[in-house]
Structure 1
C-alpha cells in the first residue's frame, strides 16, 4: 500500500528522526539517552539495536558499571512482565 511516500522518503524521515533523538542536544546527555536506548533494545529483543547501543556507549566512554546497571533495569522490567503474565494466566491478582 502506497500512501504517496516511497521507501526512500520514509527512510530519510526515519534517519532525521533518529538524528534528532540521538543528536548532541537535548534535556538528557547523550550517554543517558543511549543507556535508556540499551534498556529499550533489550526489552524489544533487537540484537542489532543492542549492539548499536553498546557500541555508542563504548564511544561515549560509559563504564561497565553504568552499562550493567542499565541492563539490570531492563531485566527487572522483563521479570516483572513474566511475573504479572503468570499471575494473569493463573487467574490471580497482580
Structure 2
C-alpha cells in the first residue's frame, strides 16, 4: 500500500470532487448540510469546519445551518436514549 499512497490520495481527491462538485441529484448546499450533520455525528472537527466554511460560501442561512445541527443532534440523542433503554432492560 505504501508504494501507491499518492495514487490512493488521488483517487480520494477525485471521489471528493465528484461528491461535492456542481453536478448531482441534490444541490451543493443540501449536500454540504448533510456533510455538516455527518461531520457532527462523526465528531470530526476538521470536517465540521470544512462544511461550515463551504456553507458560508454557498450563502446558507443561519436557520438552515441550525436545522442541520438540530437534525444531527437528534441522531446522537436517539442513540443515547435507545442504548440506555437496552442496557436498563438487560440489567433490571
Pairwise TM-score range, normalised by the shorter structure: over 0.9
User: Within 2, Cα distance between the matches of 1:11 and 1:72?
Assistant: 33
User: Within 2, Cα distance between the matches of 1:31 and 1:77?
Assistant: 21
TM-score scaled to structure 2, two decimals?
Answer: 0.92
Instruction: Give the C-alpha shift of residue 92 in structure 1.
Output: 6.2
Runs of at least 5 residues in structure 1 that lack an aligned partner in the other structure: 1-5
> What is the aligned length?
89
Runs of at least 5 residues in structure 2 that lack an aligned partner in the other structure: none
In terms of fraction of residues, the more helix-rich structure is 2
Aligned-residue CA RMSD in angstroms?
A: 2.0
Instruction: Check whether the contact 1:87–1:93 (CA below 8 A) recurs between aligned residues.
Output: no
User: Within 2, Cα distance between the matches of 1:13 and 1:44?
Assistant: 22
TM-score scaled to structure 1, two decimals?
Answer: 0.90
Instruction: Give the C-alpha shift of residue 49 in structure 1.
Output: 0.2
